[in-house]
């Protein structure tokens, strides 16, 4: 007489599932890869604080600051997004010196305005 465990094992062998559809394992791998990809995208959006790009109505970002020739200004107004490469001509201009800013050892920044010439 057979035990109940042997009867169950013979009735539904584990390999019978894979014999029916050999591509079922590939479909499961695809599902796992898709979940991993979505998780990676969510992690990157939160790590680089890009959620503001999707939610804010007006936004200005500077890409590659202090790198001449590589700086870009990204502006978003409503649904319109503009990308401008910053050139020397765009950064030059005439103006007056307003004062000097100093960073203290504590990390605070102090601004000292210059005396106006009369």
What pLDDT is stored for residue 39 in this prediction?
97
| pLDDT at residue number 35 | 96
* Residue 65 pLDDT grade (very low, low, confident, very high; cuts 50, 70, 90): confident
Dump strand ranges (E) for the chain. Answer: 58-63, 72-77, 80-85, 99-103, 109-113
Facing residues of 58 across strands? 77
Tell me the per-residue pLDDT of 9-63, one tens digit each, with 9 for 90 and over: 555 555 555 567 777 777 788 999 999 999 999 999 888 877 777 777 888 888 8
The mean-pLDDT minimum among 15-19, 32-36, 78-82, 113-117 falls in: 15-19
């Amino acid at each position: 007489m057979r035990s109940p465990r042997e009867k169950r094992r013979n009735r539904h062998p584990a390999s019978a599932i894979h014999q029916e559809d050999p591509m079922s394992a590939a479909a499961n791998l695809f599902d796992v890869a898709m979940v991993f990809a979505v998780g990676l995208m969510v992690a990157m959006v939160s790590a680089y604080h890009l959620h503001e790009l999707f939610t804010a109505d007006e936004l200005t970002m500077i890409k590659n600051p202090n790198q001449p020739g590589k700086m870009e200004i990204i502006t978003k107004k409503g649904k319109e997004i503009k990308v401008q490469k910053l050139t020397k001509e765009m950064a030059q201009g005439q103006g007056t010196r307003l004062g000097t800013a100093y960073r203290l050892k504590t990390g605070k920044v102090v601004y000292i305005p210059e005396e106006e010439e009369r």
